[in-house]
Amino acid sequence: MRLAAWAERLPVPSGDGAGEPWQVVPWQRRLLSAIEDPRHQVIAVTCGRANGKTALSGLIARAYLPGGPMFAPRRQVLVVSATHQQARILVEDVSAWKPRPADLETLKEAGYPWTVANSKQTARVKAGTAEVRAVAARPKSLHGIRPDLIIADELTQWQQAPAMWAALRTSLGKRKGSKLLAVGTRPMAGSGHVFDRLLEGGADLVLKYAATEEDERAGRLGWRRTWRKANPSLDVLPTLEETIRKEWAEAKQDEQAMAQFKSLRLNMGTSEVSSLMLLDAGVWDRHLGDAPAEGAYVLGVDLGTTAAMSAVSGYWPKTGRLDALACFGDQPNLLQRGLADGVGDLYSRCWKRGELILSQGWTSDVKDVLEAAWSRWGRPSAIVCDWWRQGELKTALGSIGFPKTALIPRRMGFGDGAEDVRDFRRAFLEGKVTPTRNLLLASAVSQARVIVDPAGNEKLAKNVEGGRRKRARDDAAASSIIAVAVGHRKRDLAAQPARGLRTALAR
């Protein structure tokens, strides 16, 4: 147990107990013991989110550098994460445990100078020939590796998991005693994902912490005892328990939140969504109202293509008001469009209510809907749009002389998209959104569907993904998601002065 004893002399790098001596809890002691045991080459660990898996992985990686019990000359540790940004977080933890100043000088004299590179291009901690290197999960980044330890961080989130796994597995035999540690939340049971196979006996040692179907049948999902099954660090992380209690309260109100709770907090290997709807109809109906348009607002923009609809949504964080407006070309007419899309006279009714405007020709002109939003709602504190179409939006804004406003681009995949869908729902459950009685918006949300990846992340579906109708017009839902999510996260955005049309970060 050299590794556990050494760990207890290190400070906690961040979060609960930051700066205090590391308290090795039983599940961590089991894992640290397995790292030292030569009988275990492949180790798989799964538990609920935010139990300190990444920090513990960083501690294990640090043990292979000078001053750690696993150190030897030319030690190589490779950390593989879903994204480079995630990889950098682990490198930050490793670098936090740097040697004391006197030891740094000794290492330098002995040929082990301590260097840290943690940028958008490189994530590495090096001491002479010993190195911890973190990379994103891309097969081309693994050529020529000969690691002593591989840490596969949140394996279920990797986009190219089979190819990555094949490359990593074949590299293990290049050095005697090399190991692979896979950590993360469970993928959906029976998904055939690499991590699912490891947890079902493919690894030499499996540490699985999860609630069970029996807990659900017996009505025990809200019991603290059940939470501890999936969250082995619950007793030493007060913030974790506080977060779980809050999310449990939300889960009891909403079917979608319950699906997320079971997947991510109870680690049950279920889909993060019980159905593929964006928002439960009951939740939407409970929050309908006519909140005033007071304070600054965030404008979400969804740009249409060819004959598609373009939509904008306004969200006022101060009062929770959510409103929307959309645009079609006037050819063909709205009744013909409605019949083709299978919604009858819906578009005609929305036009009469002032929720839908028309551009001349066959395509929607985003300039028309932006001018209408500006006229109705005034200058927004920020505009949120699709990352890949921000150039088109900037051109349109400039052509109509739109007032100076911060521009926040968001990607629509399982990264930004999952975060935005999650925060959109959370804002509703916390009572921070009051949608107006807008027929266009209600229809868009009812038609919107989400898809889920094996890691339980979800994003808005396109085309016929997730059971979505191919001709569904959910553009107003798309613009509402990004407006509410950013407005909910950045409640101080209204206080920020506009300094020209610029790109801002949503995080």
Q: Which residues of the chain are under the pLDDT cut of 70? A: 1, 102-103, 140-144, 189-191, 270-275, 305-307, 453-456, 463-472, 491-507
Cα separation values, 3 from 31, 44, 399, Å = 10, 18, 63
Q: What is the pLDDT of residues 363-417, one digit of tens each?
A: 787 888 888 888 999 989 899 988 888 888 888 888 888 877 788 888 877 778 8
The pLDDT score that the predictor gives to residue 501 is: 40
Distance of CA 455 to the CA centre of its chain: 10
What torsion do the CA atoms of 161, 162, 168, 172 make, to the nearest 10 degrees? 130
Q: What is the DSSP string of 154-211?
A: TGGG-TTHHHHHHHHHHHGGGSTT-EEEEEE----TTS--HHHHIIIIISSEEEE---
Structure tokens at 313: 């949504």
Phi, psi (rounded to 5 degrees) for 136: -75, 155
Q: What is the pLDDT of residues 137-146, one digit of tens each?
A: 877 666 667 8
Distance CA 75, CA 86 (A): 22
Return the CATH number of 287-503, one of 1.10.1660.10, 3.50.30.50, 3.30.420.240, 3.30.9.10: 3.30.420.240
Domains 2-208 and 287-503 share a fold: no
Look up the pTM and report it: 0.63
Q: Cα(first)–Cα(last) distance of the chain, in Å?
A: 40
Question: What is the SS3 assignment for 335?
Answer: helix
Structure tokens at 471: 């001709």
Long-range contact set of residues 198-202: C-beta below 8 Å, sequence gap at least 24: 198/42, 198/44, 198/155, 199/44, 199/46, 202/42, 202/44
The pLDDT score that the predictor gives to residue 316 is: 95
Nearest to 358 by CA among 348, 471, 177: 348
Sorted by where each begins, the domain ranges of the chain are 2-208, 213-265, 287-503
The DSSP call for residue 11 is B
The b/e string for 107-131 (b: 16+ C-beta within 10 A; e otherwise) is beeeebebebebeeeebbbbbbebb
Sign for the pseudo-dihedral over CA of 99, 105, 110, 116: positive
CATH architecture of 2-208: 3-Layer(aba) Sandwich (3.40)
